[in-house]
Each structure stands twice: as structure tokens, then as C-alpha cells.
Structure 1
Amino acid sequence: MLTFIFYFFIAVVVIQLSYYLGIFGKFAFGKPQSITPKNIPVSVIVCAKNEEENVKKYIPLLAEQNYPDFEIVLIDDASSDETLEAFEEFEKQYANVRLVKVENNEAFWGNKKYALTLGIKASKKEYLLFTDADCYPASKDWITAMTSQFTMNRTIVLGYGGYDKIERSLLNKVIRFETVLTAMQYLSWAKVGAPYMGVGRNLAYKKEEFFNVNGFIEHIQIRSGDDDLFVNQAANKNNTVIAYTPDSFTYSKPKETYREWFAQKRRHVATANYYKVFDKIQLGLFYTSQLFFFILVILLLAFQFQWIAVLALLATRYTIAWIVIGFSASKLKEKDLRAWFPVVEIMLIFTQINIFITNIFSKPVHWK
């Protein structure tokens, strides 16, 4: 029995190394990205619901972008605070701001995709660049950096949306590390020609891509997924590219309590259930092999079965994973997280198990 477990452990290690070297390494060890400004017409789209403080802080940063031809489409999704009033002031202050007011619709009550659809249809530019109301660009050249990756054929651009750093906060390190791991995955898969998701905090595509798949209609009943489900449906190896120069990043304030972050991750995991079959399999295989890796290491070492070989495989897997994650974190300007890999990985595994079990018994809450 222990012999079978040992060989199963070897297979698990091979699967893990295949992911880290064969897939994630494509992003981690890839060449630095260059920027060639395209100056194409862009509509920056921001959908907000009860985000008064954030929009007052961050919309001026969007308006100050160093770009020749862009508009900002501000969508107020039936806010009950002063978000709409703030948007109306921005419309008066900036000539390139377009305001879309969304009234509650009985058929699409509280559905962000409905609000975004109205905003996309109201936009006047050919290319769309999305971010959230609580996000801000890393530089005044954010639009330039993101749109520089568009070509005649590459009409979907996946960007990185990071979180602010909070000193002496373990939760902040966990959140930011998980964000880096997720970005490493979706950027790597896009790089090898199998894009499966993007994040609404930093995503761009040509407007025709939206209409080619009839917008969000196929998953309109699912409250979340205006970003990842859309990319999962519309993106392919021929039309998708990634952006990872530092100027192309966006940042936002992370959750400050584990409970809030846990609820956020529950929504993300629940949405992944609607991905294409291949994407669900590749994600499931990675996370399952990750879990089995730790279980089998503990089991084999507890019985001291082939312990030298087990330790050698343990060291090999950790060394390669650490190197790949380290290079990826450096590309995403998150170098300080590299040293936390062994600790945070175990914490994330337990969190994923908790999310899986919790989602079985209750549905996560979506949009505000």
C-alpha cells in the first residue's frame, strides 16, 4: 500500500512541476514587455454602486491620464449614497466624462452586467478599458500601456490588478500573494494560447468582441462574472494578449478582515463553476495535486517510507515552485512576497478547502 502511495506521490510531483515549468514558467521567465503607443480611441468604463468615497478619490486620477483620445464612461448603478451626485460633478468638470444613470430594473435587479451593458452601448470609442470604482492606475500612462498591446488580431488585453501593501499585516500578505498566484495562472495560460479569465479591475477589449458573443447574455443570470466569464467565453489563442509592464497595473484597497476576503473569494470560486470544461479541469487538477502533495508528504514521512526520496522530491518541488513564483512576483512588482511562499501556500490551501465546503451549503452574495 505504501509503495502505491509513493508512486502516486511521484505522479503528483510530476503534475505540479509540469504546471510550474510548462505553464507558469512561460510568464515567469518571459522577456520584459515593451510599449509602443497606439493612440487608439478608448472608452474607460467604471461601474459604481454606493462608492461615493472611492469615486471622489480615484476618478480624477483617470481624468489625468496622459492619453490623446479617451473618454470616461461613469455608470451609476442605482446608488443609494452620493455616488450619482459625485459623477454629475465630474461630468461638469471634465469634458470627456460621459454619465450613464441606471435605474433599478425588475428583470435585472442589482445585476452589474445589466449596468455595464448600458455603459458599453453608451460608449463612443472603439476600444473599451475597464476598471473598478475602488481602483486606481499605477501611472498616468496606464491607458497607453494597456492599449499598446492591441493589434489587428489581438483585441482582448488581460491586465494585472494588484492590492495596496499594508505593513505588518499577515492578511494583507495572504491577499496579495493569492492575487499574484491567480495572475500568474491566468497570464500564463493566456501566454500559451489558452486564456480562461481576466479581472475587471484591469481588462480591455475591442467593442466588437462584446457584441460578437451577444454581450453577457449567456451568463446574465449569474450575478458575478462580468470579467472572467466574459473572457472565458470570448477569449481564444488568436485574439488575446497580456499586459504586464508596471505602468499597465492598477491597484485597489484590499479587504481588511478575513471574513470580508473569504466572502470575496467564495464569489470567485462559485463563478469558476461556469468556466469551460477544459478550464475547470486544468484548475481542478492543479489545486487537487497541490492538496495531495502535502497530504502524501505527511503520510509518507510519518511512516518513514522512502523518506530520502520523499524529501528530495519535496525539495525539488519547493525549489522550482519558489523560483517560478519569485520571478512572477518580481514581474508584478510584488517582490516582498517571495519569502512568504511556504507559509502562505498552506494557508491558502486550507482557505480553498473551507470555501469549497461552505459553498456546498450556501450561496455567496454578489454585487451590492
Structure 2
Amino acid sequence: MQSSEMLLYLSIAGLVVILFYYFFFFLALDQPKHTSRSLDQKSISVVLCARNELQNLKQFLPKFLLQDHENFEVIVVNDRSSDGTQAFLQEMSDKDERLRVIQIVKGQNDHGKKGALLVGLTSAEHEYIVVSDGDCYPVSDQWLKLYDESFSENKVVLGYGPYEKVNGFLNALIRFDTMTIAAQYLSFALKGVPYMGVGRNLGYKKDLISEQSMGSHLHVKSGDDDLLIQEISNHKNTVICMDRRHWTLSVPKKTWKSYWKQKRRHLTTGRRYRSIHKLLLSALPISLVGFYFLCGILLFKYEYRSTVIMMLSVKVITQFIVYWKISRYLGEKDLVLFSPILEFISVLYNAFAASSLLLTKKVEWK
């Protein structure tokens, strides 16, 4: 067998893997969701972790307190802020008894956001926990009611947390990457393989959480939304909520430097994933890079050029269709037309960020 022929077969194999992910996983989001709904209203503790988020808290905290729900509290864990956050939170809590403030001073927390979150979780008074961040907000006042409906017999609820849209290529890349990651973790959960949620829109029953469940990875700066989910969730106790009223919106990074830092922090937990999760999550990006690389080589071979063009066409057209369908649930329809380019850049960017962790491993929360 000639080397060029071998490259062609490898590129076909890569395309098959890509199409499998598109159809089997991503398009699972386009199927009807039959979920039992709870009719009784749960008691819920909303836990927010914040560090130097004064301006965001001024703008977003009222949206949490204005939820159309009868029995909830909001706990804000102020982790060593130096921007006046504590004074603002104290003023807010004096006006609304549902708001509780926990201040962590310098020297008390050496575990970043995860340590702050653990403090908030252990202080929660209610049976159900919903976690979010100080730099995001629920898009509607029905957010907690939708958690109510989703909990029912389910103990873990995975939500979606897109980013605000602003002008610029960086923002487009951030929003596309967020949508793709959401398509993965939500569809994996639908297929019975939950492996993560997002810490800005995530709910679970309090009895699932213990210091032991977080203690095994407390020293890892990230992981409150993936390593924790892998500890407490399974195909029987986990449900997703796709209702647009259940979204939380976050403030996106505005510079490449800050986005690079955020991306590296998120990727630090990957090496701690279970083998099945590593396999499932690595197969798609490896297949994408390999497919485009091999097609690029084969385009210079005249006898394979028409076949390669056909494969590229199948891949791109399928991608347009799949991303258009999932954008009906995850938003970002303006990115569908540019999805092939954004996908390729996103995969390479994530690969470089992951590789950089081999050189410098210390990553901070803020």
C-alpha cells in the first residue's frame, strides 16, 4: 500500500470519527427531553464565590435576589477582596435578610475558588445547592423555578452559561468555544456519561457534597465544575436543563492574555479525568487536526484531489447543519457560518494552552 493511499484511509477514518461525534452526541441535543418535573418548591441555597468583583456584584447581585421563588438564600463568599466588595455586600445584606455574606481574609484560604466554594457549601442552610459566580447573572427571574422543576428525583442539574456578545474576534472565539464545550458536556450527560458542568450554572443536592468529595482534588486550582461532577454524578441522578430562561450570562475576557490564563486554568484538571472521559474528549480534537492536516497534504496529490474536496465538503456542510441545529438551543447563530474556521482555531488554541501546562504548572484563580 502506498503512503499516499494510507494517508487517504487515515483521513477517512478521521472524518468518520468527526461525523460520529456530530450525529451521535451533538445532535442528541436536538431530541425531545422527557424529564420528570417536580411540583413542590424546593429550598435552595445559591452560592456565589467572588474575588475583587465589586463592579460586577453591584450590577448582577440584584438579579439573583429578584428570583421568583419563595424559599431561597444567596450566600456570597468574599474571598480576600481588596476593592471594597465587603462593604458593599454588608450594605446589601442589611437590606435583604436572604443575603448572607462570608468573608475570607488573607491567610485563611490557600485553595483558591475551590476552597471558597467549600466554605460556602458547608454554610448553606438548604437542601439543594445552586452555584454561580460573581461575574455572571441569570437571564430571567425563573432561573430558580427551573431548577425546582429539574431537581425532582434528580440530584444533579447541569445548566448552560454562555458569554455576553461584544464585537471582536476574541469574543467570537470565546463564545464558539463555550458553545462547543456545552454541546459536549450536555450531550454526554444525555448519553449517560456526565463528566462536567459549569461552575456558573450548576445545581446539586447538598447530601452529595462532603469535604471528602472535594478533598481529593482540593489542591487543584480548578475542578469545582468537572472533577466534582465526576465524583457525584452518574447516568441515573443527572439531568440537563436547556430552557433559555435557565441560562446565566457571563462577562467575557477582553484580552488574549486574560483568556489564555483562564483557558490554562480550566485545562489543569484534564490529567485527572477518568480514562473513558480522556478518550472521548481527546478523540474529536485529534481527529479534527489530523483530518485537516492529512487533507492539506493530499490536496497536492492530483489523483486524490477530488476525493479530498468531497470529504471536506461533507465535513463542512454537515458541520453547518449540526451547529445550526444546536444553536437553536445554545444560541450563537451568528457564529454558525464561521464555525469551520472557529473550530479549527479553537482546537489549536486549546492544544497550545494544554501543552504550555507541561512547562509551567502553577495556575491561580484570580
TM range (shorter): over 0.9
Q: TM-score w.r.t. structure 2 length?
A: 0.95
- Are the equivalent residues in 1 in contact too, given 2:289–2:344 (CA < 8 A)? no
The residue number in structure 2 matching 1:124 is: 125
1:233-281 deviation per Cα after TM superposition (whole angstroms, max 9, x unaligned): 2211011110110000000110111121121111112222211111111
Give structure 1 stretches of 5+ with no counterpart. none
Q: Give, in whole Å, the separation in 2 of the partners of 1:290 and 1:133.
A: 35
- Are the equivalent residues in 2 in contact too, given 1:20–1:324 (CA < 8 A)? yes
Q: Give, in whole Å, the separation in 2 of the partners of 1:206 and 1:32.
A: 21
* Residues matched between the structures, number: 363
The residue number in structure 1 matching 2:337 is: 339
Aligned letter for 1:205?
Answer: Y
SS in 1 for 2:102: strand
- Are the equivalent residues in 1 in contact too, given 2:194–2:238 (CA < 8 A)? yes
Q: Give, in whole Å, the separation in 2 of the partners of 1:364 and 1:138.
A: 34
SS in 2 for 1:95: coil
Shift of the alpha carbon at 1:32? 6.5
Aligned letter for 2:124?
Answer: S
Superposition RMSD on alpha carbons, in Å?
Answer: 1.7
Q: Give, in whole Å, the separation in 2 of the partners of 1:129 and 1:232.
A: 17
Aligned-pair identity (%)? 33
Residue 364 of structure 2 is aligned to residue 366 of structure 1: yes
The residue number in structure 1 matching 2:310 is: 312
Shift of the alpha carbon at 1:365? 2.2
Shift of the alpha carbon at 1:84? 1.2
Q: Give, in whole Å, the separation in 1 of the partners of 2:114 and 2:255.
A: 27
- Are the equivalent residues in 2 in contact too, given 1:196–1:228 (CA < 8 A)? yes
The residue number in structure 2 matching 1:16 is: 18
Q: Give, in whole Å, the separation in 1 of the partners of 2:276 and 2:305.
A: 35
Aligned letter for 1:343?
Answer: I
The residue number in structure 1 matching 2:142 is: 141
Q: Give, in whole Å, the separation in 1 of the partners of 2:333 and 2:327.
A: 5
Aligned letter for 1:208?
Answer: D
The residue number in structure 1 matching 2:208 is: 209
SS in 2 for 1:216: helix
Q: Give, in whole Å, the separation in 1 of the partners of 2:79 and 2:255.
A: 26
- 2:88 is aligned, of 67, 86, 89, to 86
CA distance 1:37–1:144, shift in 2 (3 Å): farther
The residue number in structure 2 matching 1:156 is: 156
Q: TM-score w.r.t. structure 1 length?
A: 0.94
Give structure 2 stretches of 5+ with no counterpart. none
Shift of the alpha carbon at 1:103? 3.2
- Are the equivalent residues in 2 in contact too, given 1:38–1:144 (CA < 8 A)? no
CA distance 1:105–1:305, shift in 2 (3 Å): farther
The residue number in structure 1 matching 2:105 is: 103
- Are the equivalent residues in 2 in contact too, given 1:104–1:110 (CA < 8 A)? no
Shift of the alpha carbon at 1:110? 4.8
- Are the equivalent residues in 1 in contact too, given 2:48–2:75 (CA < 8 A)? yes
Aligned letter for 1:340?
Answer: F
The residue number in structure 2 matching 1:230 is: 228
The residue number in structure 1 matching 2:216 is: 218
1:94-121 deviation per Cα after TM superposition (whole angstroms, max 9, x unaligned): 1211222223446x42522222112111
- Are the equivalent residues in 1 in contact too, given 2:38–2:152 (CA < 8 A)? no
- 1:65 is aligned, of 67, 86, 90, to 67
- Are the equivalent residues in 2 in contact too, given 1:156–1:235 (CA < 8 A)? yes
- Are the equivalent residues in 2 in contact too, given 1:2–1:305 (CA < 8 A)? no
SS in 2 for 1:87: helix
- Are the equivalent residues in 1 in contact too, given 2:93–2:100 (CA < 8 A)? yes
SS in 2 for 1:306: helix
